Structure 1
């Protein structure tokens, strides 16, 4: 917002400019106005085109903090300025939450108006004249959800504010919700690291619901179902606290739903609550979820998703990405760096890791089909422990690890021999003389494979010295 200019003045300025220049851009030449014109981009390897399933994975235009007013086209800029004016006028006129009570006294009306001026959403002031840098970011989320139709965006904002007041969502973080055990809670819902753009990643794991006792605790009555739904919304609010509604900040999250070993469609309570949560998310948290990635999706889920999609807008549907069990790692690595992806999903991130951190970036190696590749970690000085880990996307390979001394008179030491596994590998070896750790990976498959790996040398005191002391 320009310094010293009100939303109404800015709107009048841009409207006059449009009249002098012409409005041909708005008559069908806006590249991103309609979802049908947006390009769908699914990044796939040539030999794996049939493995990555996506429900309308497009809409890559993030409401990034670089999308400032000056960078928007004329139609969107006008819509934002009009939306600012509508919100400013609704707050000043005391009708943001509905028609004001005509029986209020003048002092009560003034007091209510002052309270309304301090209205915030997700911690961001909504009054445009306060010139908070996050206000435009929040307003743009509602505009984008409604294809920059100001009236619809304004009504959506009003409904959201009313819902938050009735649902008491601003108090939800202080409530004790969900399973009684923190361990059980962390089996179902948890945040773990961030995606490649810095967005928090929330995991929803359905496997725990296969336990009848746990399922009964979560959905044994109507009240329990409502509590679980509220717990789900509470987790969204926790995710919002991890965001930054400012220029240069991250203001959306990534959700991953893991359906491995999950109860089938017969578990009606679970699927009913999940549908309600999805609708609440769509109606009251626009553009706060960048992607909904569903992994290990069984066949029955596709039918359920088609039925559930009837309640979703096209924009919400475009945020869904579905991946079968054979393609989980490949799909997640499109969004999350390997050092931030948990090992159970084929990444390199381990909890309470004393050897590596998420700052230790992985290198990448491509192995052609029916070929062998080598990864080498040279060590020039003795007296340290070399630690390494690697993962192969899709696995179906065998590997061998060995230490080869620089001194030709020394013996090679075999660490692992042609072991075929389906998970990330972590190993270490104390270096008593200069040499090289060599990992030999044999890809007997016709498909190309990707290896992600990293290593680190750690100074080490030999055990015999410790025992001697």
Structure 2
């Protein structure tokens, strides 16, 4: 029996994503630009942003590009504007990026994990224009935890790369059709939660769990204690046979966009060759973006 599938563990680790705050983007704007309609920082807040930046400086190479005002502000907000805690969190995140090098993961590194379409970036968006990561647990094809985690990180980085300039959140839509629960590993779930909560904080708008089985709901109750209240509120359970919960989906999406891509209708909707080409093109775009930003000394 496999450990819990990446798609299942992600369902718990993705929950910490949920927040109204800005995302950890690779394309941050000028120093005082507000994001998602948020107000520019107050004088006191700007002082704290500058304190954090000073505390983590100097940084080598492109790591300096991950210290924009928008990013530092998000870490401060996560820590209730506590400079010491936000500084530690950002340092840990930068250390992880330096060692794990998430922005250097290429399609060829994760192609085997991606082959079945268990996680993919949908061509559809929600009504606010937010990108959608579509997850299908039944398509799990690996028991390699490290490989699963690398592919998850690749998907997150790819979504960030493709976000429009005025949008900094994503939607995760988890389709539980034909789901089978194997041996559940709390260790894996917590490890994934650690990576995303600490290194990609507050980046999901909503997590939709579509037609989850009863046994998953019981497992979710075990995981809920690890989640903050503001995060739990972003998790939405939706059932195709329940009109009250389906309204959540209908309010979020133009459902015609997902015609044929959910539940049993999704059997033949994923073309790995087409998707691989999209990802390879994105890899090239990311390399160009990083090179251009580094040359100009600007945020990437």
Which position in structure 2 is the counterpart of 1:233?
Answer: 153
When the two structures are superposed, what TM-score results if normalisation uses the length of structure 2?
0.68
* 2:172 is the alignment partner of 1:255: yes
Distance 2:49 2:256 in 1: 41
Distance 1:117 1:180, change over 3 A: closer
Contact kept in structure 2, 1:195 and 1:340, CA below 8 Å? no
Work out which of the residue numbers 194, 202, 207 in structure 2 matches 1:287: 202
Work out which of the residue numbers 39, 64, 70 in structure 2 matches 1:119: 64
- The 5 Å alignment of 1:250-329 reads 250-264=167-181, 266-268=182-184, 273-327=188-242, 329=246
Number of aligned residues: 236
Contact kept in structure 2, 1:195 and 1:201, CA below 8 Å? yes
Give SS of 2:208's match.
strand
- The 5 Å alignment of 1:150-169 reads 150-169=83-102
Distance 1:143 1:254 in 2: 23
Q: Deviations over 1:70-122 (max 9, x none)?
A: xx6xxxx3553133212332254x4xxxxxxxxxxxxxxxxxx6x3686123x
Distance 1:207 1:201 in 2: 18
Which position in structure 2 is the counterpart of 1:172?
Answer: 105
Distance 1:180 1:278 in 2: 19
Which position in structure 2 is the counterpart of 1:84?
Answer: 49
Distance 1:201 1:152, change over 3 A: same
Which position in structure 1 is the counterpart of 2:250?
Answer: 333
Distance 1:147 1:155 in 2: 13
Which runs of no fewer than 5 residues in structure 2 stay unpaired?
1-14, 23-34, 271-300
For residue 280 of structure 1, report the CA deviation from its aligned partner: 1.5
For residue 254 of structure 1, report the CA deviation from its aligned partner: 0.6
For residue 295 of structure 1, report the CA deviation from its aligned partner: 1.1
Q: Deviations over 1:164-199 (max 9, x none)?
A: 2222212123552153673x1x2x111111111111
Distance 1:329 1:178, change over 3 A: farther
Distance 2:147 2:254 in 1: 34
Structure with the larger RCO, 1 or 2 (CA within 8 Å, 6+ apart): 2
Distance 2:82 2:43 in 1: 11
Which position in structure 1 is the counterpart of 2:127?
Answer: 196
Contact kept in structure 1, 2:209 and 2:237, CA below 8 Å? yes
Distance 2:53 2:74 in 1: 17
The answer to which structure has the higher helix fraction is 2
- Alignment RMSD (CA, Å): 3.1
Contact kept in structure 2, 1:199 and 1:253, CA below 8 Å? yes
Distance 1:202 1:117 in 2: 27
Distance 2:246 2:162 in 1: 25
Give SS of 2:105's match.
helix
